[in-house]
Amino acid sequence: MTHTPMMQQYLTIKARHQDAFLFFRLGDFYELFFEDAVRASKELEITLTGRAGGGDERIPMCGVPYHSVDAYIAQLIEKGYKVAICEQVEDTKQTKGVVRREVTRIITPGTVMEGKLLGEKENNYLLGVYRADGLLGLAACDISTGEFYATEVRGITGMLDEMTQYSPSEIVLLAPDTDGEELAERLAPYHVVVTRRPPNLDGADRPQDALGTLFSDIAGERTCTESMLVAIRGLLAYLEETQKRSLAHLHRIQLYEANEYMVLDPFTRRNLELVETIRDKTKKGSLLWLLDQTVTAMGGRLLRRWIDKPLLGVVQIERRQRAVEQLIDGWMVRDELRTLLEDVYDLERLAGRIAYGTASARDLVQLKTSLATIPALKQALAELAPEADVLRELADGMDACLDVAEIIEEGITDDPPLALKDGGLIKEGYHEYLDKLRTASREGKQWIAELEQQERQITGIRSLKVGYNKVFGYYIEVTKANLGTLPPNRYERKQTLANAERFITPELKEKEALILEAEEKRTGLEYELFVEIREAVAREVKRLQALAQQVATIDVLQSLAAIAQENRYVKPQMTVDGPMVITEGRHPVVEAVLRGEPFVPNDTELSHEHAMLLITGPNMAGKSTYMRQVALIVIMAQLGSYVPAEFATLAPVDRIFTRIGAADDLVGGQSTFMVEMKEIEVTLTNANARSLVIIDELGRGTSTSEGMSIAQAVIEYLHDVVGCKTLVSTHYHELSHLELTLPRLQNFHMAVDELNDTVIFLRKLIGGPADKSYGIYCAQIAGLPERIIERANELLSSYEGMALPATADAAPVVIVAPEPVAEDHVQEGMAEVTEPASDAEVQLALFEETASSASPVASKVSKAEEKLVRQLQEADLLNMTPMQAMNFLFELKKQV
């Protein structure tokens, strides 16, 4: 098919960007053609039209105005698509034929620089992943803030653990076309955009040297490895490919070991609701929601990173604690800091846009306003007591960048317009020639105003006016009712309207040329001067980013101090290795939600000698809340926060594993029980003696006997093999006997009181096992019909009280208890069973009294004996449900 030159240009550019919507600039619109148009019309709900393109059939087409394109692009990016922006790169007035166009930027979910898709207090990370010999290099970048991190982990599970701490919006998978399928498959459940790119292995034999050519500032004690270098270089190449402009703000990289921080796998992050709730995926109700009293956007993002990566080093933790303590003691200074921080804009993203070349004049004014606050911020910190070493050190290291503020102050007006090419950006007196152009423009406009008064006097038409538009320039407008009074041959007709005529004069035309030339030169020169100022500020982006990090740290510390003082938190004592002692601990989020209502605190003590608590008790008694609060107290302590307790002594844990409230994975085709087993597998594979494991109601998704068997086996493995601090809750009261055989396990239960048929959950953890589950009571208060509740109570009474009474037809049955089993042998199974005695011995035990009698039915009984013994021998008791066991016992009773 033969296409027009313009469509041939489009097809050539589109061939290089097959994986993106191509927004093709035509005048005041961005147009999409062919398949892009068909898909975009559906996704954006805009009209699909067509146009001639040189062939017999019309080409599908749709478009959006250039001034509102950002909203449409945001919709596509939010749905996981990529958008290539194709601009006119030649002046249409000076070009003959087709204007040259080029793709100036490709926008993807991981490369958004501004707009509603960037959460104010959330990072937008793009991840690069490369695997070689079982090791995976990870590089993470937020292009909007300039942050860049890299590490190396072992195995896909380690990669997933690290990945979820960044919550990336896009992943660049660096793998050959024939490889990477397993990685892509494991990433599928996370619903993140995955872009495949081939890895660049050049120079990987000296990764640290190669890294030095990419970044001017390399932080961290970690050495760059081959897999890290490939991930870093692949990520940078992808950014250069898509952004097509300077990335000078990506000058610093932080190398780190994953084990420098507490590792939180995806299950644990979800179960503990660290940054969002399980139910509705919102911030409210999460730990982040509770702790976030930050004032600035960058402070909010830093707090989230601290929660995502709690510290392991006691020295670093105590350093943060001291800063929080200093701000609690200096509460007046803290209040002053909060007031000052309200005038600080998002320095990180401002610096990023300035270096990126997309900052507006208003962005520069916001930067100037923020920098003007820094001296007062430093002075406020200096007012703290001499022992406030951490905060004083932070203040002393702050560069206020006053020279940068001065550059902006000299050149940019205090209230500039949002548009950059319409003038009004540069201050009077900043540039001499610009001031002359402004004078010429003002004088020309004054001449136009005087011309209008002059023409009204000459013609006598009071409604005559002199106007201007971009198409026709300046004109004299007269209504049709007054056309008859115009002097002959004075005006030249220029345009006819419905109710008026527009005219020009030779004098007006001459003045118009002078005015428009002055306006065009003025706006062009203003934009050039603005770009010069922006580039001058961009050269100081390293200083601005360092300042942003310091201000964000102050903001997070004051937030933690405010929360600690408001909620009566205490500073936990940190030890390198030792017991976990929490006195009167409280669940921080639940307590915050229950404003005005009392929260029942509980103690916790886990040591090497008593490392495991087995917690029993009914539903709604508070077992899950208690176990979650222990985990959250540990996380809060290790991010440097005070904790909700009266006293706490803690040693850092390297990982927290939780198995709480599993749900079906319908997309993955996995049941609740399978999800539960997957979480347990992750725990048992990765936990060690320094970990904290929390398991809630293990083994509920299968039969009672299987569930108890799995639960006991897991408990024994954690006790005997892993040896970590562990909290396990269960409804299986039968597991309470493990306290006799596992020396480091202790039984506890949630206290319950019964008063006049009413159950009162006391929410208090006390020693010993529970004796009831109160499931029927929970069903009653949940609103089940009374008939069901009554029937359930009847059945429960019959199950618990069922016996084998003597009957008139048969002698009483005597059950002989087995011999006691030595403790050494009890650990091998959930319900230790001794080898059965011989048939004769069993028959004697069951029917001894019957056999010695001279009853006429003795012969019938002797025949029944064999049948009953055979049934008992063949019965698979361990795999029966409680109901099956009751039915089996009932059948035996009838036979006897």
Q: State yes or no: 622 annotated in a binding site.
A: yes
The confidence score (pLDDT) of residue 665 equals: 41
Residue 603 carries which side chain, given as an amino acid letter? D
Q: Confidence band (pLDDT; 50, 70, 90) for 840?
A: very low
pLDDT of residue 272 exceeding 70, the answer is: yes
Fold entry, domain 5-107? MutS, DNA mismatch repair protein, domain I (3.40.1170)
CB 271 within 8 A of CB 634: no
pLDDT of residue 833 exceeding 70, the answer is: no
Fold entry, domain 432-520? MutS, DNA mismatch repair protein; Chain A, domain 3 (1.10.1420)
Which range, of 20-34, 384-398, 476-490, averages the lowest pLDDT? 384-398
Helices then strands (H, E): number in the chain? 30, 28
pLDDT of residue 183 exceeding 90, the answer is: no
The confidence score (pLDDT) of residue 831 equals: 38
Q: If 0-12 CB within 10 Å is exposed, 13-18 middle and 19+ buried, where does residue 872 land?
A: middle
pLDDT of residue 221 exceeding 60, the answer is: yes
User: Which residues are CB-contacts of 254 (< 8 A; sequence separation ≥ 6)?
Assistant: 147, 148, 149, 150, 219, 220
Q: Confidence band (pLDDT; 50, 70, 90) for 44?
A: very high
Span 589-608, average pLDDT: 90
User: Which residues are CB-contacts of 738 (< 8 A; sequence separation ≥ 6)?
Assistant: 614, 712, 715, 716, 745
User: Which residues are CB-contacts of 124 (< 8 A; sequence separation ≥ 6)?
Assistant: 110, 112, 117, 118, 142, 143, 144, 169
CB 710 within 8 A of CB 741: no
CB 302 within 8 A of CB 553: yes
Q: State yes or no: 621 annotated in a binding site.
A: yes
**Per-residue pLDDT reduced to its tens digit, 546-598:** 999 999 999 999 999 999 999 999 999 999 989 999 999 999 999 999 877 88
- Measure the CA–CA gap between 505 and 80, rounded to whole angstroms: 57
Sorted by where each begins, the domain ranges of the chain are 5-107, 126-260, 292-401+540-567, 432-520, 573-770, 806-895
pLDDT of residue 837 exceeding 50, the answer is: no
Q: Confidence band (pLDDT; 50, 70, 90) for 55?
A: low
pLDDT of residue 847 exceeding 80, the answer is: no
Q: State yes or no: 330 annotated in a binding site.
A: no
Of 447, 489, 144, nearest to 301 (Cα)?
144
Q: State yes or no: 465 annotated in a binding site.
A: no
More confident site: 763 or 726: 726
More confident site: 783 or 338: 338
Pairing assessment for the beta strands 573-574 and 647-650 based on DSSP bridges: parallel
Q: Measuring CA to CA, how many Å separate 844 from each of 417, 597, 813, 847? A: 102, 63, 11, 5
* pLDDT over 70 percentage in the chain: 87
More confident site: 643 or 685: 643
Fold entry, domain 573-770? Rossmann fold (3.40.50)
Q: State yes or no: 785 annotated in a binding site.
A: no
**Per-residue pLDDT reduced to its tens digit, 158-178:** 899 999 999 999 999 998 766
Q: State yes or no: 743 annotated in a binding site.
A: no
Span 78-103, average pLDDT: 87
* pLDDT over 90 percentage in the chain: 52
Which range, of 83-97, 567-581, 801-815, averages the lowest pLDDT? 801-815
Which range, of 198-207, 398-407, 424-433, 751-760, averages the lowest pLDDT? 751-760
Q: State yes or no: 212 annotated in a binding site.
A: no
More confident site: 824 or 744: 744
Q: If 0-12 CB within 10 Å is exposed, 13-18 middle and 19+ buried, where does residue 494 land?
A: middle
pLDDT of residue 817 exceeding 80, the answer is: no
The confidence score (pLDDT) of residue 128 equals: 96
Q: State yes or no: 50 annotated in a binding site.
A: no
**Fold match flag (432-520 vs 573-770):** no
The confidence score (pLDDT) of residue 153 equals: 93
Span 850-855, average pLDDT: 42
The confidence score (pLDDT) of residue 887 equals: 65
**Per-residue pLDDT reduced to its tens digit, 454-493:** 889 988 899 999 988 877 888 999 999 898 888 888 888 8
According to the CATH classification, is domain 292-401+540-567 in 3.20.20.10?
no
The confidence score (pLDDT) of residue 804 equals: 39
pLDDT of residue 327 exceeding 80, the answer is: yes
Q: Which residue has the tokens 């070991």?
A: 257
CB 633 within 8 A of CB 753: no
The confidence score (pLDDT) of residue 860 equals: 47
The confidence score (pLDDT) of residue 810 equals: 36
pLDDT of residue 809 exceeding 50, the answer is: no
The confidence score (pLDDT) of residue 879 equals: 63
Span 49-54, average pLDDT: 80
Fold entry, domain 126-260? Nucleotidyltransferase; domain 5 (3.30.420)
More confident site: 732 or 807: 732
Calculate the average pLDDT of the chain.
Answer: 85
Q: Confidence band (pLDDT; 50, 70, 90) for 827?
A: very low
Span 337-352, average pLDDT: 95
Q: What three-state secondary structure class fits 307? A: helix
